[in-house]
Amino acid sequence: MSDKQRHVHTAIVGAGFSGMGMAVGLLEAGRSDFVILERAASVGGTWRDNSYPNCRCDVPSHLYSFSFAPNPDWPETYSPAGEIHAYQRRVAEEKGLIPHIRFGHEVLGADWDDDASLWRIETNHGSWTADFVVGAFGLLAEPVTPDIPGIDTFEGTIMHSARWDHDHDLTGERVAVIGTGASAIQFVPGIQPTVGHMTVFQRTAPWVLPHRNRRITKIERAIYRRFPSVQRLVRNAVYYSRELVAAGMIRNKGVTEGAKKQGLAHISKSITDPELKAKVTPEFAPFCKRILLSDDYYTALDSANVDLNVDGIAEIRANSIVTRTGEEIEVDSIVLGTGFHVTDSPMMERFRNAEGHSITDACDKSRLGAYNGTVIPTFPNLFVIPGPNTGIGHTSLIVMIEAQVGWVLKLVEAMEQRRLASVEVKQAVHDDWCDLMDAKTEPTVWNSGCSSWYLDKDGRNSTLWPGLTTEFRKRLRTVDLTQFETASITTVAAAAD
């Protein structure tokens, strides 16, 4: 495709798992008139960006991969980030996605033109128009820099876990780590042996359970290569066992008690210092925040060169961090494990409807949500994958992504059969959907009183799908055009004349 031809049927924003999944879906449906606008120089999204030491997926690889692209050669049951990124690059090559991708193209803004019934997209390399846009910009793409007084005055190296500075050697340094979430519990043991001293600043003690990772033997791999159905069986076994665990989370009983016992035993076994044991013991129900898996986090904390500080940070100075108790701790580098802008992604500011309102503005007026996790009122022909309430705490996000891709393809096909130029989900449908999300979240463990990135500024769960993924997939098997305001091709053409 020549870049002079700047109109496409579909523009996909982002080449992570969602953008790639959508692109493969389009190609398999015989639709090649699309472009993927990717701001970075490679596919991969979060698995490209998170290259910190020890980064590894906490969902088994047989499930954390596309259903249409099984990989019999996963070396471990839970893959390191580098393996997942290599898999993504291979799939992009093998499925013919590369010619469709414009690397280094950052979407700066996208405006819906109601008269022409298309999206006008501005990138740092010029403009595009598209009949449809798929916002595949990711839930965990925009790192949070915490708003700590003085953080801008720090004179040493400061880096976020998702923007690891591999040119900076932490060996022998005094390092501060801020945050104890899924990323920190991986990179803390990754850097502990080499740093001089590390102070880990913990605001909330997380639940950490043993990791069940193991190497996949050569024989297993040979079997998967020779008999793909065996690998499919393993994938299904992992999938359904995780659905069972989710059933417990949804009812907020059973699994949380079991996890609590395991978590407390893990602390007991891994840590000798009673004061440290008390500091790391969580005070909320397991699974309320994402459960974390690690065999070496607690032992790293218990090492002679590590302190766990729970006093809270008052300010950051040129070469130190001052706690709320007034203690000043000198450090050479700070590593932020402070998470991502999930419910307040800056990308939501960049998509504007016909009235010029961003997704953030529109959601502020009603509630942050998307019907079927994908479509938002007043934003015609825009599909967000993964969208609000499609995040997942117990299984593979790729399951949700594939369900959304399938639904979008069915919707576009239904539009073509009815000769529709645009579809826009009705406000009442959106409101009912948000009511459903609230009602389904109410009895779950995610609503049991902790603060987490699943909750938005209004305290609502607008991130997680509060149910079984089997239910989500079933809902997205069919398309009901009565849920949408529609404009026909002839009406749009007449308006344009």
Cα–Cα distance, 293 to 311 (Å, whole number): 25
Touching ligand N01, residues 254-283 (CB under 6 A): none
- Pick from 33, 58, 106, 302: which binds ligand N01 (CB under 6 A)? 58
C-alpha distances in angstroms, 64 versus 140, 234, 239? 16, 12, 10
Q: Which residues contact 218 (CB under 8 A, 6 or more apart)?
A: none
Give whichever of 128 and 187 is closer to ligand N01, judged by the CB atom. 187
For residues 118 to 157, the per-residue mask of contacts with ligand N01, x marking binding by CB under 6 A and - elsewhere, is ----------------------x-----x-x---------
The span of 108-116, 334-342, 417-425, 487-495 binding ligand N01 (CB under 6 A) equals 334-342
User: Which one of the spans 172-180, 236-244, 357-365, 460-468 is the region binding ligand N01 (CB under 6 A)?
Assistant: 172-180
Span from 129-137, 175-183, 324-332, 441-449 in contact with ligand N01 (CB under 6 A): 175-183
Of the residues 179, 380, 387, 466, which one makes contact with ligand N01 according to CB under 6 A: 179
201 vs 383, beta carbon nearer ligand N01: 201
- Residue found by looking up tokens 């016909």 in the block: 354
Taking CB under 6 A as the criterion, the residue among 36, 57, 249, 250 binding ligand N01 is 57
Q: Does residue 453 bind ligand N01 (CB under 6 A)?
A: yes
CA angle centred on 202, ends 139 and 55, rounded to 5°: 45
When the beta carbons of 245 and 421 are compared against ligand N01, the nearer one is: 245
- Least separation in angstroms between residue 283's CB and ligand N01 is 11
Q: Which two tokens stand for residue 151?
A: 């953080």
Output the furthest CA–CA distance in the chain (Å, rounded): 78
Check binding of 16 to ligand N01 (CB under 6 A). Answer: no
The structure tokens 């398999």 sit at 28
Q: Figure out which of the listed residues 182, 363, 376, 398 binds ligand N01, where binding follows CB under 6 A.
A: 182
Judged by CB under 6 A, the number of residues near ligand N01 is: 26
Give the residue with the Cβ less far from ligand N01, 224 or 340: 340
Give the C-alpha distances (Å, rounded to integers) separating 161 from 31, 213, 388: 38, 22, 24
**Please, are residues 376 and 485 in contact by the beta-carbon 8 Å criterion?**
no
- Our finding on whether 204 is near ligand N01 (CB under 6 A) is yes
Smallest gap from residue 78 Cβ to ligand N01 (A): 8
CA atoms of 447 and 451, how far apart (whole Å): 9
User: For ligand N01, which is the closer residue by CB, 339 or 466?
Assistant: 339
Q: Which stretch binds ligand N01 (CB under 6 A): 8-16, 85-93, 200-208, 265-273?
A: 200-208
Amino acid identity of 300? A
- 181 or 373, CB closer to ligand N01? 181
Shortest reach from residue 63's CB to ligand N01, in Å:
12
The CA-to-CA distance between both ends of the chain, in Å, stands at 29
Q: Does 203 sit near ligand N01 (CB under 6 A)? A: yes
**Closest separation in Å from C-beta 44 to ligand N01:** 14
Q: Tell me which of 337, 387, 388, 467 binds ligand N01, using CB under 6 A.
A: 337
- Residue 348 or residue 455: which is nearer to ligand N01 going by CB? 455
Shortest Å distance, C-beta 195 to ligand N01: 19
- 88 lies in the site for ligand N01, by CB under 6 A: no
CB of residue 395 vs ligand N01: minimum separation in angstroms? Answer: 12
Of 58 and 111, which has the nearer Cβ to ligand N01?
Answer: 58
Nearer CB in complex with ligand N01: 79/117? 79
In the block, residue with structure tokens 């409101």: 431
208 belongs to the binding site for ligand N01 (CB under 6 A): no
Cβ contacts of 172 within 8 Å, gap of 6 or more: 194, 195, 196
Among 18, 65, 88, 180, binds ligand N01 (CB under 6 A): 180
Q: Where on the chain is the footprint of ligand N01 (CB under 6 A)?
A: 56-58, 140, 146, 148, 161, 178-184, 186, 201, 203-204, 290, 313, 337-340, 451, 453
